[in-house]
Amino acid sequence: MSDRTRENLMAHGPGTPDTLLPVDPAAAELAGTPDPAQVVAAVRTHPESSLAWALLAERALAQGTDSADVEAYAFARTGYHRGLDALRKSGWRGAGPVPWEHEPNRGFLRALWALSVAAGRFGELVEEERCAQFLRDSSGTAYAALSKH
C-alpha cells in the first residue's frame, strides 16, 4: 500500500483554501420550490448540475420505497460525481473545505448527503459512513443542516 493510499485526502491545515464552486448552471431554473418537471428539465438542459441531481435524489428518498431508494442512490451518485468534477475544475485537489455558506457548493454537498442516506438504506454501511464523514470534513455546517432532516 502506498503512502498516498493511507493519506487522509480531506485533512487540511492552515493555508488550505476553501473551494468555492461557480454558480450551478441550473440554479436559476431551480430557484424556489421547483416541481418535479422543472427538475427533470434542468437535468436535461444541465446534466452537469449537482443541484438538479441532488433534488431528484432527495425527492426519491422522500418516497421511502425500495424502488425509489434505488433511484435516489443513482441520482445522488451522479450528482456526487458531477460535483467532484466541478470541485476539481475549481482547484480542489482532494483536500480543504467546501463551505456550505457558499451557495453554489450546496448541490454537491446535498448530493453527498443523499448518497450517504441512500447507501444506508441498502445496508451499505461503509459507504454510508464514508460519505457522512466526507460531508463532515468538507463542511461541518452542511452536515449539521442536512442531518437534521
Residue 1 or residue 88, greater confidence: 88
CA dihedral 48, 53, 55, 60 (to 10 degrees): 170
Quick: pLDDT tens for 67-116: 999 999 999 999 999 999 999 999 998 888 999 999 999 999 999 999 99
Question: Angle 6-99-118 (CA atoms, 0-180°, nearest 5)?
Answer: 70
Q: What is the pLDDT of residue 35?
A: 84
For 110-122, write each residue's pLDDT tens digit.
999 999 999 999 9
Average pLDDT, the chain: 89
Q: Which domains does the chain have, with CATH numbers?
A: 25-146 (1.25.40)
pTM: 0.86
CA nearest 99: which of 126, 138, 47?
A: 138
At residue 142, the pLDDT reads 98
Burial of 18 (0-12, 13-18, 19+ CB in 10 A): middle
